[in-house]
Structure 1
Amino acid sequence: MTSPALNQILFGPPGTGKTFATIEAALEILAPEFLRANKGKRVALKKHFDELAEDGHVEFVTFHQSFSYEDFVEGLRAESGEDGQLHYEVVDGVFKKMCTSAVAKVKHPGALFIKGESFGSGYIVASASTELLSLVKPNGKELPIGMSILHTLAEYVRAGRLTVADVRNKLVFDKVSETKLEPYLINGYNNILPVLVQRILDTSSEDAKVKETTQSSNARVLIIDEINRGNISRIFGELITLIEPSKRAGADEALKVTLPYSKDHFSVPSNVYLIGTMNTADRSLAGLDIALRRRFTFREMPPKPELLKDVTVGELNVGQLLIVMNQRIEMLLDRDHCLGHAYFMPLENEPTLERLGQIFREQVLPLLQEYFFEDWLRIQWVLNDHRKAPENCFIAQALFNSGSLFGDQVVLSNQNNQWMINEDAFARIESFWGVIDHQAVPPKVQEAIEAEKDDIQVRQLESGSIEVLKSGKIVSPSKPILRELAAAHGLTTHHASGLEFNTRHLGAAVISALKGVTV
């Protein structure tokens, strides 16, 4: 079986489930057996993913224009000390923390410190883990000490940089630039530190065996959402070289760099995986940094209308609706600007005309406006509005006389006319059928309530909309003819409050009257 790539990017148009897919991509690395056993069980996969994230195996960040090297690798943070002065401390970023965690040297705590054991002048072990040793001081106060500090000191002693006696001497730490230890020394921890370090040194080599946690079971995954929205060169810095598989720690061409703030020697371990997502339709961004691009593998995430093949609103197939719109977008723009299936997935649980209309009005239409730079004519083409009956068009041009504004000397094309959104169209199933085929007749039109008078036909469709046809052609607007028919049959056209009936109410009244007339 092929091993997952160390660096990969999921790319595609918006709404294709890139962020959604990062969960399975992470589990493919961290728990491949679990993924295979639970394929398609989203709830179980998400739960296991959350558990891994809770344990520190997964981190999630989103790149943006303000995200920096200091957030990603390391930087300086100002803090006010007890003396009221500002002190600057080196703070690790999300990626450096993950790399440090991935190569942390793990020792069995029971072989080093046992709960209840006493050290020095009455320091008692309250608890011990791979991360933290908690002691109770003679005065009853708790004294927490990071295990990484103790291991660092023991390493310095083994390497000959310190002696155990030096451990309590602050001046020695200044020489080795171990500034992270200063808070322990300032707070009087140095009296017990030599004793604890000596325990580590005295522990048998079997119990204190250092295990580099580079196995797949201890892999780490950093998910970077919207990776192309950040300033890549600024965020990664020298790490652009280090993330390359051949330059990782342990590889034949492994490299280390000296970090600018901490002066630490740093390399990227081979069990840290990067998964990025990239929106190909974001026209506000330049192309992804070439140096970074060649160090990642790319997995395309195209729209999957097949996931919607069984989703219908009435008898309108939503998968087919998406296919047709994307075919038009691909011809007018490119495949990077197609519509993702995720926009329509809510219709699986709520297959209603109202929900479909909401998706089009609030998500699809604004996205098309963004794609086409407000070129309404091309948006019309995508929605097939240029071939539909006017009442089924989502967008239309308002008619006005340019001569009244500018005089006869100025001639303007129709393109200059104001474009308007027809809010009523989002509540008509015929509008959506017309996107697929402007000549398509919704299957249930035959079941519509309808009535005829001479060459005039009035019908109320399943959606509740009223259509008036004269000599077989749809009349728009329909209200003037409805008023005439209502007047001819002595029907009231207003509510008791004085408000005029809307088209649906008036049309229903006219249909009832026409059905009662003998022609």
Structure 2
Amino acid sequence: MTDPIPGARRLTADDLGIGVAAPAVVLQGSSAPDASPLDPEDPQFLEISRLREQFGGVILTGPPGTSKSWLAKESAVLLTEGDESRTEFIQFHASYQFEDFMEGFRPKQDGSGFEPREGVFLRLVKRAGDDVENRLYVLVIDELSRADVGRVFGEALTYVERSKRNIPFSLPSGDELAIPSNLYIIATMNPLDRGVDDVDAAFERRFAKIEMLPDSAVLRERLDANGVPDDLAARLLAWFGKTNGRAKKTPAASVGHAYFWSVVDEDSLRDVWNYQLRYLIERAFKYDEPTLKEVVGGWNKIFEGPVAGTDPDDEPDETP
């Protein structure tokens, strides 16, 4: 081994955030990052709030671009009165583990062995349980179906159910834990993810489900607010409705309204296609060349002006 360069700093795994010492990644995310704050009277928020009296959590399920992450995060803000200490936002992924979520072990600084390390869920459970005012705490889990939820939750999966709150169980460290009734989980999920069946089996009795679909009314309102010309907005909305109508037979073709959140003119709309939508559409219809050509052709006509004999407002049912 060569001698260190004089004056150089030696970095540890903690410094770099890698290896066994790396902390769980805690992210903030939104499918509509510049959207307005959620209205406390919003029907979807009121439904999420109401369901916490009966369920341990709620899963917002729908295709990409339907504002699931934004609604989950904003609902958490309202439920906790904006108190960031009572909210955690995490995103599951294929390598997310029990050690990240509940507890794991990490080497001691002196090299004498290992010590327990609390995961994000365990920390929030303890804060909620220690709250003498019994205020509400909210955990937002983005992309719930991307991880092996049974392994990530472990025995805690049983106790997130509303009827089993405050019942103690043992952690691998030997410590005893009870999930308090003032902790609520809001999760998001893409129904096309490969892990969806496992999530359904694990949570079907424990969590409520709210379906979130592409919404032409939300898109129309956003395009108006962005100052998109009426004729361009009408042609886009017609394509949006027709494409989501096709999603009844081809669910992967669902196009969420949030894809178009930053559209202000033709150039920005072309960017949405060139850098995002094109790949979604090609993947959805890769085994159906005729339909792919129709969808792409319909998109191109958005920029050609109205087609004789068509009514842009005559939009098919877009519910996938």
Identify if the C-alpha distance between structure 1 residues 369 and 227 changes in structure 2 by more than 3 Å, giving closer, same or farther: same
Q: Does 1:323 align with 2:241?
A: yes
Q: Distance in 1 between matches of 2:308 and 2:289?
A: 18
SS in 1 for 2:186: strand
**Deviation for aligned residue 1:440:** 5.0
Indicate yes or no: 2:254 matched with 1:338: yes
- Contact 2:244–2:255 (CA under 8 A) maintained in structure 1: yes
- Give the aligned partner of residue 171 of structure 2: 259
Which among 355, 373, 380 is matched to residue 268 of structure 2? Answer: 355
1:71 aligns with 2:115: no
Q: Structure 1: which 5+ residue stretches go unaligned?
A: 32-48, 106-211, 250-254, 389-393, 395-424, 443-519
Identity of aligned residues (%): 31
Higher strand share: 1
Does the CA contact (< 8 Å) of 2:253 and 2:281 recur in 1? no
**Matching residue's letter, 1:320:** A
Paired residue for 2:114? 88
After superposition, what is the alpha-carbon deviation per residue over 1:174-216, rounded to whole angstroms, capped at 9, x for unaligned? xxxxxxxxxxxxxxxxxxxxxxxxxxxxxxxxxxxxxx342xx
Match of 1:234 among 147, 151, 156: 151
For residue 9 of structure 1, give the secondary structure of its aligned residue in structure 2.
strand
Match of residue 61, structure 1, among 62, 68, 90: 90
TM-superposed CA distance for 1:281, in Å, is 3.1
Alignment partner of 1:429 is 2:283 = no
Whole-angstrom CA distance in 1 between matches of 2:215 and 2:206: 28
Question: 2:303 is matched by which residue type in structure 1?
Answer: I
TM superposition shift of 1:441: 10
Give me the whole-angstrom Cα distance separating, in 2, the residues matched to 1:321 and 1:223.
Answer: 33
CA–CA distance in 2 between the matches of 1:91 and 1:302? 39
Structure 2 counterpart of 1:406: none
Aligned residues: 254
CA drift of 1:29 comes to 2.4
TM-score (norm 2): 0.72
**Native 8 Å contact 1:306 1:319 kept in 2:** no
Q: Could you tell me which residue of structure 1 aligns to residue 195 of structure 2? A: 285
Between the aligned partners of 1:365 and 1:374, the Cα distance in structure 2 is: 15
What 5-or-longer segments of structure 2 have no aligned partner? 1-45, 313-320
Return the offset for 1:242: 0.6
Offset at residue 98 of structure 1 (A): 0.5
Query: Cα distance, 1:362 vs. partner?
Result: 1.7
Mapped partners of 2:277, 2:201: distance in 1: 32
Whether the 8 Å contact between 2:282 and 2:292 is mirrored in structure 1 is yes
Q: Counterpart of 1:429 in 2: which secondary structure?
A: coil
Cα displacement (A) at 1:80: 3.2
- Tell whether the 8 Å contact from 2:58 to 2:185 is kept in structure 1 after alignment: yes
Deviations 1:287-325 (A, max 9, x none): 224122321101111111112335344613133331122
Alignment RMSD, CA only? 2.6
Question: Are residues 344 and 19 of structure 1, via their aligned partners in 2, closer, same or farther at CA, if it must alter by over 3 Å?
Answer: same
Q: CA deviation at 1:329?
A: 2.7
1:185 is matched with which residue?
A: none
Corresponding residue of 1:7: 57
Larger RCO (alpha carbons 8 Å, 6+ apart) = 2
**Aligned partners of 2:195, 2:281: CA distance in 1, in Å?**
18
CA separation in 2, counterparts of 1:222 and 1:339? 27
**Rg larger for:** 1
